[in-house]
């Protein structure tokens, strides 16, 4: 049953609007969005859909199809632990109200096929879909990046997760057959063609572990990066705009004034920024082997210097790298679970999927979540 049919079953009428916002996979550029770096995500074929119609009584009737959960009542003014998924929806509604828009009550169905807890940004897709649905119903004129920023503010202030802008930006601004090169320091972005020319594809595989980077682990890594940035500004360049703008030579010059964790966290951030730039060049020049090597180098840095991998992610990426036709593989997203992203030869992809299904998922007794994805369009009315 599709989203439109679910809406008709739940509410007895056709929805006035239905929108679709994709999840994302980050090709390269991990844990540097909050360090002012560049990231290279792409919108994937898995998405969140919202079908909705306005109401005249100010009430909200929301149905989360994947969870078979329903909310009926008024707009909530702050985060609630009950039906936690509604916080993503109401957070965006509150952002529209802050911008001066009057939001009516709504009947809405939230549906989708992004695996929850996979690190493929179902929450950002939910926020962006909510924003685009409201824009369509209300006739507002926000840009796509403004929709993304409204989603980020909702997650930061209403949901209470201090995320960066990458996930919402790619869900809102993605372009088919392109990855987005986003400067997280300035929010400037361009579209980088995925010039595989039929020779390669992006393979996404779940580690079988729900994404598990805790707030304390995330904050600890972020604080070490912030501390390293302050040392660099004090001793190397007072006008250094962000950690990712530093060079490895500058970090080496200050290493004795940092503890070991600061050095390793900063080394990852600075190195990952360089890897993003080289990956864009490799893409532009069709250097698939080099792009694969960059993915492998990123995983090694995330595992050893940033320490956000886990046994399952290491095993899965090793398994993938050792298969014929796999150029490279790394963890994607926050880490400690979630997914891997791999570059694979098109003619080898099906054999790789079958091998991983048999030798990783079946041996561990977990559901095989492994699929190819094109780079897709950002949020749109369907």
Strands across the sheet containing 326-332: 326-332, 339-345, 200-206, 370-373
Active site residues: 167
3-state helix, strand and coil shares in percent for the chain, rounded to the nearest 5: 45, 25, 30
Task: Quote the CA–CA distance of 157 and 154 in Å, as a whole number.
Answer: 5
**Closest by Cα among 26, 24, 205 to 128:** 24
Task: Quote the CA–CA distance of 212 and 310 in Å, as a whole number.
Answer: 10
Query: To which H or E segment does residue 192 belong?
Result: strand 189-193
Q: Which residues of 118-128 are buried (b: 16+ CB within 10 A; e: fewer)?
A: bbbbbbbbbbb
Q: Which residues of 314-330 are buried (b: 16+ CB within 10 A; e: fewer)?
A: eebbebbbebeebbbbb
Q: Are 223 and 266 in contact (CB under 8 A)?
A: no
């Amino acid at each position: 049953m599709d989203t439109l049919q679910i809406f008709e079953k739940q509410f007895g009428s056709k929805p006035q609007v239905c929108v679709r916002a994709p999840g994302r996979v980050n090709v390269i550029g991990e844990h540097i969005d909050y360090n002012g770096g560049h990231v290279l995500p792409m919108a994937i074929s898995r998405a969140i859909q919202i079908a909705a119609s306005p109401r005249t009584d100010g009430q909200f009737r929301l149905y989360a199809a994947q969870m078979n959960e329903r909310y009926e009542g008024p707009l909530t003014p702050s985060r609630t632990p009950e039906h936690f998924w509604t916080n993503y929806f109401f957070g965006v509604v509150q952002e529209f109200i802050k911008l001066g828009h009057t939001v009516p009550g709504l009947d809405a169905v939230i549906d989708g096929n992004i695996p929850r807890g996979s690190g493929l940004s179902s929450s950002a897709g939910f926020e962006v879909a909510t924003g685009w649905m409201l824009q369509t119903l209300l006739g507002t004129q926000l840009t796509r990046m403004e929709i993304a920023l409204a989603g980020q503010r909702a997650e930061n202030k209403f949901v209470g997760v201090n995320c960066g802008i990458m996930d919402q930006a790619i869900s809102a601004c993605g372009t088919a057959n392109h990855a987005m090169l986003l400067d997280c320091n300035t929010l400037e972005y361009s579209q980088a063609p995925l010039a595989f020319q039929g020779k390669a594809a992006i393979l996404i595989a779940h580690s079988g572990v729900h994404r598990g980077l805790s707030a304390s682990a995330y904050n600890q890594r972020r604080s070490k990066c912030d501390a390293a940035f302050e040392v660099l500004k004090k001793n190397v360049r007072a006008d250094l705009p962000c950690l990712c703008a530093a060079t490895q030579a500058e970090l080496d010059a200050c290493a004795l004034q940092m503890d070991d964790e600061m050095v390793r966290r900063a080394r990852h951030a600075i190195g990952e920024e360089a890897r993003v730039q080289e990956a864009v060049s490799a893409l532009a020049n069709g250097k698939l082997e080099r792009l694969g090597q960059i993915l492998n180098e990123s995983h090694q840095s995330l595992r050893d210097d940033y320490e956000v991998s886990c046994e399952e992610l290491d095993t899965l990426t090793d398994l993938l790298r050792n298969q014929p036709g796999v150029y490279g593989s790394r963890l994607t997203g926050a880490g400690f679970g979630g997914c891997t992203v791999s570059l694979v030869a098109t003619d080898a992809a099906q054999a790789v999927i079958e091998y991983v299904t048999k030798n990783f998922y079946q041996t561990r007794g977990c559901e095989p979540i492994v699929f190819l994805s094109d780079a897709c369009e950002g949020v749109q009315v369907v």
